[in-house]
Structure 1
Amino acid sequence: MKTKYIDLIDQTYYFPQEEFTLEEDKLRFHGIDLMELVEQYGAPLKFTYLPQISNNIKKAKYWFKKAMEKHQYKGAYQYCYCTKSSHFEHVLSEALKNDIHIETSSAFDIDIVKNLIKEGKLSKDNYVICNGFKRDQYIKNIADLINSSHKKCIPIIDNYEELNLLNEAIHGNYNVGIRIASEEEPKFEFYTSRLGIGYKNIVPFYEREIEENEKVTLKMLHFFINTGIRDTSYYWNELLKCLKVYTELKKVCPTLDSLNIGGGFPIKNSLAFEYDYEYIIDEIINQIKVACEEADVPVPNIFTEFGSFTVGESGGAIYEVLYQKRQNDREKWNMINSSFITTLPDSWAINKRFIMLSINRWFDEYERVLLGGLTCDSDDYYNSEQNMNAIYLPKFNINKPLYIGFFNTGAYQESIGGYGGLQHCLIPSPKHILIDRDEEGNIITKLFSPQQTAEDFLKILGYNE
C-alpha cells in the first residue's frame, strides 16, 4: 500500500516538474536546496529567487515575438512591469535588466522611477505608463517627470478632470492615453469598472477635449479587465468591444498608435496548473490584426503590464510545524511558527491558493491536517490545497522537525501585509532572503531583512523613542 508522502504527490500530479525536484527526501526549488537554506537562516523565512523574474519576462517576449512573426504583425511589442505587484528595489533592478518599461499607479511610484533614473537603471528611452486615479501629488510628480524631458512618460486618463489638471502642471507638449472602463463579469456587484472612461464616451471625449488641444497628443488606448487574461467568452467579448473602440478612435485620431492590453496573466497556483500562454497570445494578436484589417486601419503597437506574472513565481515562504493540536476525533491542526494573515494575506483575504509542499521527510507516511497560524484570530488558517480539497503532509513527529513551503508568493503579499510595520497580534515579519546566481550559475544567497524584533514593534507603537 502506498502511504508515503512521495506516493501521494506522484499519484496526484506529474512530478518532478520544471522548478520542483527531489534530492533524497528533500524538496528542491529551481535546484535550490531548501533545507540547506533553512539550516543556514532558520525558519520562518521568505525568499525571492531573482532569476525567475527574468525567466518569465523572456518567456512572454518570446511568445509575443513568435505570434507577431506568425501573423506578420507590423506593430511592436513593449513589456511593462506593474510596480504595485512588488516595489522592492531588487525586483525592479532584476526586471529592468531585460529591456522593459514601467507602469505606475500612485504618486510615490514616480519617486521610485526618479531613483531608478538617478541610479542609471531607467532612462528616457523607457516608457513610464501612469495609471490610477490622479490627484495633486500624483499629477505633480508626473508633471515633474515630463517637464524634465522624459517624453515617454504617458499618463493614462482615468477621469475627465485629469486632463485639465495635467494641462496646468505640464509646461510643454505631452502624450496621453485613455483607459476604457470595461464591463465586469455578471457575477460582480457592479456592472462597470470604476477605472477609466466608458466605451461610448471615449471618442466624444477625444473630439471634445483633445483633438484641438495643441499641447496634448493621444497615443494609447488602455484596456484591462479585473479577471485578467482568460480563455473565456467574457474576455474575448470585452477584447472585441475594445478593438471596436480602438478602430473608431484611430479613424479620427491619426496619432493613436498603441493598444495597452494591461496585465492579468495567471501564475502557477497548483502542481496541476494548466494555462496555454502561447495560444492565448497568438489569438490576441490574431484578433487585433483581423479587427484592424476589417476596419482598414493600421495595427497598433502592443503594450502589456504584467505584474504577478513578472514577480509572483519568484517568491516563497518556509515555515516549521511547531506542534499538532487535536481538537476532536478527526481534526488535526498543524501549528506553524508564523501567521498566514500576516505573511500570506491573500490566503486569508481573498481565499487565494498557493503551491504548498513539504520541504523534507518525503519518504514518511502522510496524514490529513489543517494548518493554523500563531495569532489568536480564528481566520488565521490554511485549510485546502488546490485540486485536493484537503492538506496532506508527512505525519507529525515531535522528534522529527517538519518544514513546509508555500511557493509563487512573490506578488502583493509584502505590501498587503504591511511590510516593515505592525503585524496582527504582533507576530513578527519573517526574515527575507534574496537568492541569485553568479555568472557560473552558482547559487548566491543574501539576507535582505532580518526578522522583526520586539524593539521594532515598540518603536512603531511609540513606547521607544
Structure 2
Amino acid sequence: MNTKYIDLINQTFDFPQEEFDLKNKTLAFHGINLMELVEQYGAPLKFTYLPQISNNIQRAKQWFAKAIENNNYAGKYNYCYCTKSSHFKHVLNEALKNDIHIETSSAFDIDIVEALKAEGKITDETFVISNGFKRAQYVTNIARLINNGHKNAIPIIDNYEELELLSEEINDTFKVGIRIASEEEPKFEFYTSRLGIGYKNIVPFYKSQIQNNKKVELKMLHFFINTGIRDNAYYWNELTKCLKVYTSLKKICPSLDSLNIGGGFPIKNSLAFEFDYEYMVDEIVNQIKLVCDEEGVDVPNIFTEFGSFTVGESGGAIYEVLYQKQQNDREKWNMINSSFITTLPDTWAINKRFVMLPINRWQDSYERVLLGGLTCDSDDYYNSEQHMNAIYLPKYNKDKPLYIGFFNTGAYQETIGGFGGLQHCLIPSPKHLLIDRDAEGNLTTTLFSEQQKSEDLLKILGYNN
C-alpha cells in the first residue's frame, strides 16, 4: 500500500522539482540540506537563500530581452526592485549585482538610496522611481536627491498637489511620471485605486500643470493593478486603457518616453503552481507595440517594478511540531514552536498560502492536521494548502520529532511582522540565516540575527532602561 508521505506527494505532484528534492530521505531546498540546518541552528529558524534573488532577476531580464527581439521592439527594458518588499541590506546588495534600478515608497527609502550611493552600489545613472503618497519629509528627501545631482530620479505624481510641493524644493528642472488610478477587480470593496490620478483626468492634468511648465519634464506613465500581472480579461482590459492614455499623452508630450507597467508577477505558492511568464511578457510587449503602431507613436521604454518576484522565492521558515491536540473526532492540531501571526503575518492578515512541506519523516505514514501557533489568539493557525483544502503531514509521534518548512516567504513578512520589535504575546522572533554560494558554488551560511531574548523585549517595553 502507498501510505507513506512520499507516496502522497508523488501521487499528487511532479516531484522532485527544480528547487525541491530529497537528500538522504529529508528535504533539500536549492541543494540546501535543511535537516543539517536544523541540527546546527535549531528551530524555529528563518533563512534567506541569496542566489535566488539574482536567479529571478536574470530570468525576467531574459524574458523581456527575448520578447523585445521577437517583436522587433524599439524600446529598452529596465528592471526595478521595490524596496518595500524587503529593505534589508543583504537583499539590496544581491539585487544590485544585476544592473537594476530602484523603486521607493516612502521618505526613509531615499536615505537607503543615498547610503547605497555612498557605497558605490548605485550611481546617478540608476533610475530611482518614487511612488507613494508624498508629504513633507518624502518630498524633502526626493528634492535633496535631485538637487545633489541624481539625474534619473523620477518622482511619480500621485495627486494634484505633489507637483507644486516638489517644485518648491527642487532647484532646477526635474523629471516626473504620473500614476494611473486603475480600476479594481469587481470583487474588490472599492471601484478605483486610491493611488494615482484617474484615466480621464491625466491628459487635463498634464495640460494644466505640466505642458507649459518649463521646470518639469514628463517622462513616464505608471500603470499598476493590485492583483498583479495575470492572464485574464481584467488585466488585458486595464492594460489597453492604460495604453490609450499613453498614446494620447505621447501625441502632445514629446518628452514622454517610458511606460511603467508596475509589477505583480506571481511567485510559486504550491507544488502545483503553473504560470507561463515567457508568454505573458511576450504578449505584453506585443500589445504595447500594436497599440502604439495603430496610433502612430513611438513605443515606450518599458519599466517593471518587481518586489515579491525578486525576493519572495529566496526566503523560508522552519518550525518544530511540539505537540498534537485532538480537539474533537476530526480535528487534530499540530502545535508549532512559534507563531504564524508574528513570523508569517500574511497567513493571518490576507490568508496567503506558501509552499509547506515537512523537512523529515517522508517515509512515514501521514494524517490530516491543522497547524496552530503559540499565541493565545484563535486566529493563529494555518489550515489548508493552495492546491487542496487540507494539510497532510507525517503522523505525529512524540518520540520522533517532526520539522516543517514554509518556503518562498522572503517578501514582506519581516517588515509586516515588525522585525526586531515587539511580537504578539511576546513570542520572540526566530534566528535568521543568510545562505549564499562562494565562487566555487559551495554553500556558505552566516547568522544574520539571533532569536530575540527576554531582555530585548523588556527594553522595548521600558522595563530595562
TM-score under structure 2 length normalisation: 1.00
Whether 2:100 is the aligned partner of 1:113: answer no
Aligned to 1:39: 39
Aligned to 1:352: 352
Aligned to 1:209: 209
Q: Deviations over 1:295-344 (max 9, x none)?
A: 00000000000000000000000000011111112211110000000000
Aligned to 2:408: 408
Partner AA of 1:138 in structure 2 = Y
Between the aligned partners of 1:252 and 1:103, the Cα distance in structure 2 is: 27
Q: Deviations over 1:106-163 (max 9, x none)?
A: 0000000011001111111100000000000000000000000001000000001000
Superposed, 1:155-170 pairs within 5 Å as 155-170=155-170
Partner AA of 1:253 in structure 2 = C
Deviation at 1:386, TM superposition (A): 1.3
Q: Deviations over 1:404-460 (max 9, x none)?
A: 000000000001101111000000000000000000000000000000000001000
Structure 1 residue runs of 5 or longer lacking an equivalent are none
Superposed, 1:108-257 pairs within 5 Å as 108-257=108-257
Q: Percent identity?
A: 79
Q: Deviations over 1:371-405 (max 9, x none)?
A: 00000000000000111211111111111111000
Between the aligned partners of 2:249 and 2:396, the Cα distance in structure 1 is: 63
Q: Deviations over 1:346-378 (max 9, x none)?
A: 001100000000000110111111100000000
Partner SS for 2:161? helix
Aligned to 2:16: 16
Partner AA of 2:307 in structure 1 = G
Between the aligned partners of 2:331 and 2:163, the Cα distance in structure 1 is: 58
Partner SS for 1:73? coil
Between the aligned partners of 2:304 and 2:40, the Cα distance in structure 1 is: 39
Aligned to 1:289: 289
Aligned to 2:464: 464
Between the aligned partners of 2:426 and 2:189, the Cα distance in structure 1 is: 35
Deviation at 1:190, TM superposition (A): 1.1
Aligned to 2:369: 369
Partner AA of 2:431 in structure 1 = K
Aligned to 1:389: 389
Deviation at 1:24, TM superposition (A): 2.5
Aligned to 2:343: 343
Partner SS for 1:388? coil
Between the aligned partners of 1:318 and 1:69, the Cα distance in structure 2 is: 42
Between the aligned partners of 1:96 and 1:350, the Cα distance in structure 2 is: 30
Aligned to 1:103: 103
Between the aligned partners of 1:161 and 1:147, the Cα distance in structure 2 is: 20
Between the aligned partners of 2:448 and 2:202, the Cα distance in structure 1 is: 46
Deviation at 1:96, TM superposition (A): 0.2
Partner SS for 2:364? coil
Aligned to 1:433: 433
Partner SS for 1:240? helix
TM-score under structure 1 length normalisation: 1.00
Q: Count how many residue pairs are aligned between Structure 1 and Structure 2.
A: 465
Partner SS for 1:144? helix
Aligned to 2:76: 76
Whether 2:266 is the aligned partner of 1:266: answer yes
Give the superposed CA RMSD: 0.5
Whether 2:332 is the aligned partner of 1:332: answer yes
Deviation at 1:283, TM superposition (A): 0.4
Partner SS for 1:160? coil
Q: Deviations over 1:206-256 (max 9, x none)?
A: 111001111100000000001100001000000000000000000000000
Q: Deviations over 1:175-232 (max 9, x none)?
A: 0000000011111111111100010111111111001111100000000001100001
Partner SS for 1:218? strand
Between the aligned partners of 1:413 and 1:109, the Cα distance in structure 2 is: 18
Between the aligned partners of 1:109 and 1:398, the Cα distance in structure 2 is: 47
Aligned to 2:313: 313
Partner AA of 2:117 in structure 1 = I
